[in-house]
Copies of this chain bind each other. A is one copy, B any other.
Amino acid sequence: MDIRTLCLGILTMGDATGYEIKKTFEDRLDLIFHASYGSIYPALNKLTEEGLVSCREFSQEKRPDKKIYSITANGRYQFFDAIMKKPAADRFRSEFLATLMFSHLLPASAISEFIDDRIKDRLQKIASMADECGSKQTVREQFLCNFGLTMYQAEIDYLQDNRHLLEADALMGTRAAE
């Protein structure tokens, strides 16, 4: 599933401009996908060529023409096909965890600081999401939002309960090196 396909999916929820699609990625899909204009606009052009979306143009004064995209019957069909396939595995990459894997090279203070920062970051995300979750318009979005909250909280709990293992290990390393 690429961004081209996701754009198609977003258009199943209603017509939109490229600009609005970008916002939808930010507001509704931020937890699971990201997309920049540099991938959205070319994707929409390609989808138009392929007849999966159609485009109406509205000329505006003092702004670029606004192009409102709609998904076509064929587009709906193709998107349905895409999501009926078994979803590919998640792609996950974490510099934070990678750093901890090499923490034998770090001073104990740095390890503690990274973990503190991580917990702060997660707490902050939880704080800003907690409000949003309630006001999501669809059950699906609420489900995803609460999924995110749950995972962030699980991470905080794990870090708080187990950080001492890493920190103790780092201090032993320090002593051994003396």
Contacts and interface: CB of A to CB of B under 8 A. Distances in A.
Interface of A is mostly: helix
Contact of A83 (B105, B154, B169): B105
A129 interface: no
Nearest to A93: B91
A31 B92 contact: yes
Contact of A98 (B6, B105, B138, B162): B6
A125 to B, nearest CB: 10
B93 A9 contact: no
Nearest to A28: B101
Contacts of A1: 95, 98
Interface string A105-128: 110001000100100000000000
A97 B86 CA distance: 12
Nearest to A149: B158
Interface residues of A, number: 58
A132 interface: no
Interface stretch (A15-23, A49-57, A58-66, A139-147): A139-147
Contacts of A147: 97, 158, 162
Given A84-B110, A105-B79, A100 B143 contact: yes
A88 interface: yes
B98 A33 contact: yes
B165 A101 contact: no
A101 B166 contact: no
Contact of A93 (B86, B90, B139): B90
A63 to B, nearest CB: 30
A32 B138 contact: no
